[in-house]
A and B are shown apart, each in its own frame.
Chain A
Amino acid sequence: MLISTKTGNLRLNVAVSMIVFFCFFFSVSVAGYKTIILATTTSTVDSGLLDVLIPIFEKQSGYIVKTIGVGSGMAMEMGRRGQADVLLVHSPRDEEKLVKDGFGINRRAVMHNDFILIGPADDPAGAKTAKSVGEAFKKIGESGSLFISRGDKSGTHSKELSIWPYSKTILSNLWYLESGQGMGATLLIADQKQAYTLADRATYLSFKKRIRLVIVREGDKLLLNPYHVIEVNPEKNKGVNTTGAKAFADFLVASATQKLIADFKGFFPDAVK
């Protein structure tokens, strides 16, 4: 037992314990100088692309990247508050507003992946026969087949919401459900309920072996999901690592990186030379 019956020894024991844990405590901290905070979306993290790119960047540049995967809305908010140094997001309308409001600079295209409409193999709504994704959505609404929405202000959610007007359908909670969760969880729910949902191709591919849903509609221009990198404007907030942000953004659009992106299933490079 640490504590013996001699009260003098007790003080020694307490002192030693305190020294030991203080060493522990401080050894666990990480130095902050060469750190970049990258705010991106959960679906980007889930795709695994960053697990490939980030280590390469860190090795090359000596920076440590803290990748924070949150909802698209939160990523934008982090940009506005200066809580991140650089953003990698895919909500063009919100991004444009961010830049217009002066919080983001040097917005550059990096890559795109695409969304697909997936649903049960027997396609009860007949969406496969539609001539556009808007029409596919219309058939789903008319047939009253279950549709699971992300419902979380994510990029996928924004994309989905932008398609509904084309379907000229009124949403009803008899068949339109919101999961409020990430892409993976939403796919699992849709699979369990044999419902339709809009997903990004990369996530769908990684889940393919464990769900029975199939691709019902793909390839529309409307379904493209463009990613941009945006550096956070240091003039709006204090403490932003501008050199780090620029270094990372430059890395993303560099041709070597773009080639890696091309090789990664589901993503297509977009950086303009």
Chain B
Amino acid sequence: MIKALLGPNGAGKSTYLRRLMGLDIGKIDRQMTMVFQEPLLFDLTVKENVALGLRFRQDKAVKEKVGRWLENLGIAHLSARRTLTLSGGEAQKVALARAFVLEPKVLLLDEPFANLDLPAQLELRAKLKKIIHDNRVETIWVTHNKAEALEIADHLMIMIDRKIVQEGPPERVVQSPASEEIAVFLGIENIFHGRVVINDGRSYFENDRIRFEVATEGKADAWAVVHPEDIIISEQPIAKTSARNTIAGTVSDIIKSGLTYRILIKAGEEFKVNITRASADELTLTPGNNVYLTFKATAVHIT
């Protein structure tokens, strides 16, 4: 089970891990171990480094365990090398082998791939995820990289300003950020500030610039989030649809990004809508066009 701890730099994630590890009070739990952002290898051979923790515990099966884990991480050919000659990726693999060989109850990873180049990051990320799951190691993986967190997490924790402000399955967290701060950090778009009022048994989110129907209770101070993928653009308002909201707006910008287009539309507030290139071509969108935005009341996430 991988718990990802995601947060901006300076949020206190490393401090949190170090406290879990007991490093702040100098009393460590030998059933846990930690891998840091830098490999922090000692001036020994690769195999001696990997064996270190086992030797500290006076383990009897050092040779066998070290051999096995060098294989697992794909670095058996480096076993007799001195650590200064290793590349960043190789060194980090040694650091990981050194941790896994201890068969810890809890594995703490502090941004283990932050110092590597992108190809190395991607390769190691997938490999590590597999190893963790194959060996069923309870892992807390700290990262500031959203893509990494979303890729590897079974459970996602967001830390901002030294506090864990939200946690849960990653899809749920991303879909429903618990606060604007989290939403902004996660890069979620179409965030509006206002209030939710009940009128004639229906809920509306409103502020000075916009008003649309939502499906939640009344709230004096609310944030509304609509995912760019949940909005439909049409040249004419769509007749007879279950979607409660249809808003008129003007195209202000079109950002092309491969197969998806990001359309910026001014409709009281500024909306960002993601549509396929095919649709964009069919609709012949250009800045200045008048369009209609359609989305469901239930597609609005209120916090």
Which residues of A approach B to under 8 Å, CB–CB? 5-8
Extra contacts, 5 of them, besides A5-B48, A7-B55, A7-B56 (Cβ < 8 A), are A5-B44, A5-B55, A6-B55, A7-B58, A8-B58
Q: How far is the CB of A4 from chain B (nearest CB, A)?
A: 10
**Chain A residues with CB under 8 A of B58:** 7-8
* A7 to B44 alpha-carbon distance, docked (Å): 14
Which residue of B is nearest A8, CB measured?
Answer: B58
* 0 or 1 for each of B46-87: is its CB under 8 Å from A? (1 = yes): 001000000110100000000000000000000000000000
Which residues of B approach A to under 8 Å, CB–CB? 44, 48, 55-56, 58
* A7 to B62 alpha-carbon distance, docked (Å): 13
**Chain A residues with CB under 8 A of B55:** 5-7
Which residue of A is nearest B51, CB measured?
Answer: A5
Q: How far is the CB of A32 from chain B (nearest CB, A)?
A: 47
Which residue of A is nearest B56, CB measured?
Answer: A7
Which residue of A is nearest B44, CB measured?
Answer: A5
**Chain B residues with CB under 8 A of A7:** 55-56, 58
Q: How far is the CB of A130 from chain B (nearest CB, A)?
A: 79
**Chain A residues with CB under 8 A of B48:** 5
* A164 to B276 alpha-carbon distance, docked (Å): 120
**Chain B residues with CB under 8 A of A5:** 44, 48, 55
Q: How far is the CB of A10 from chain B (nearest CB, A)?
A: 11
List 8 A-B residue pairs with CB atoms under 8 Å apart, sorted by A's residue number: A5-B44, A5-B48, A5-B55, A6-B55, A7-B55, A7-B56, A7-B58, A8-B58
Which residue of B is nearest A7, CB measured?
Answer: B55
Q: How far is the CB of B62 from chain A (nearest CB, A)?
A: 10
Q: How far is the CB of B54 from chain A (nearest CB, A)?
A: 11
* A8 to B56 alpha-carbon distance, docked (Å): 10
* A6 to B44 alpha-carbon distance, docked (Å): 12
* A211 to B44 alpha-carbon distance, docked (Å): 64
* A5 to B260 alpha-carbon distance, docked (Å): 58
* A8 to B59 alpha-carbon distance, docked (Å): 12
Q: How far is the CB of B98 from chain A (nearest CB, A)?
A: 14
* A7 to B55 alpha-carbon distance, docked (Å): 7
Q: How far is the CB of B12 from chain A (nearest CB, A)?
A: 35
Which residue of A is nearest B48, CB measured?
Answer: A5
* A8 to B60 alpha-carbon distance, docked (Å): 12
